[in-house]
Amino acid sequence: MDKLSIFGVILGFAALLGGNFLEGGSWQSLANGSAALIVFGGTIGAAMLQTPKAALRRALSLFSWIFHPPRLQFKKGIDKVVSWAQAARREGLLGLENIAEAERDPFCRKGLQLLVDGSDPDVIRHVLETDLVVAEKRDFDAVYFYESMGGYAPTIGIIGAVMGLIHVMHHLTDPAELGPGIAVAFVATIYGVAFANLFLLPVANKLRQCVREKSQFRELMIEGIVAIADGENPKVIEMKLSGYLH
């Protein structure tokens, strides 16, 4: 679990509530059911309207990456490729067949199977890079769901504030109701801006970084598999791939 992400969420909202408390406010002053319904419901609805079903499903599945990002160990990936190269040098490419069947990562298993089938290095690169690009685009489309909500939330918060002010206008004859009514109206703006900047946009950026790191790891595997197909020395392959280490 990514404890830093959890701490960041807690710190962001704690700072908001703490600042409100220091200004003499209370948590009750920020609690408003109608404003929450307008902002959260409107934001989610608008984002769902523009997002295809497949991208929405993928976006929901990626949400867990915020607190449980993919554990991509580049050093172990390099060691794995080097072991494949050593096996191919000892037993030939057909010696990788059992390794391919035991490989859990579908992407790596596909690359190994192409090696076993004796595919040309350029063909292997083209096939694997196509898979990488398609998967990356699918994930970025999913990340855009959260990014779009981050764009809609502040605007919908303003809509909620305007709706609240319209309600306040009906009580102009009662000055005692104006101050509290206006304060409640602007709660919707706070919800929209805070929801966007303290949660949605950071979530989108965090997921985008995870997708890029996953793509970089797959680029490493592509370079390694193509190098094996070219018959390069395992030590040379290890030196070439070491550039991917952070």
> Could you read off the pLDDT tens digit of each residue along the chain, which spans 246 residues?
667 778 787 887 778 777 767 777 666 667 788 888 999 999 999 999 999 999 999 999 999 998 888 888 899 999 999 999 999 999 888 888 999 999 999 999 999 999 999 899 999 999 999 999 999 999 999 999 999 999 999 999 999 888 888 877 776 776 666 666 676 778 889 899 999 999 999 999 999 999 999 999 999 999 999 999 999 999 999 999 998 886
Task: Report the 10 Å Cβ neighbour count for 72.
Answer: 14
Q: Does residue 93 sit in the same domain as residue 48? A: yes
Q: Does residue 70 sit in the same domain as residue 179? A: yes
Comparing CA positions, the residue from 84, 65, 89, 98 lying closest to residue 212 is 65
Q: Does residue 17 sit in the same domain as residue 39? A: no
Q: How many domains does the chain have?
A: 2
Query: Within the chain, where are the H helices?
Result: 3-22, 33-36, 42-50, 53-62, 74-91, 97-102, 106-116, 121-169, 175-195, 201-229, 234-241
Q: Does residue 1 sit in the same domain as residue 90? A: no
Q: Does residue 66 sit in the same domain as residue 122? A: yes
Q: Does residue 194 sit in the same domain as residue 220? A: yes
Q: Are the C-beta atoms of residues 237 and 81 closer than 8 Å to each other? A: yes
Measured distance CA(86)–CA(52) in Å, rounded: 45
Q: Does residue 5 sit in the same domain as residue 50? A: no
Task: Quote the domain boundaries for residue 136.
Answer: 33-244
pTM of the shown model:
0.84
Helix 201-229 / helix 74-91 crossing angle, nearest 10 deg: 20
Q: Does residue 59 sit in the same domain as residue 150? A: yes
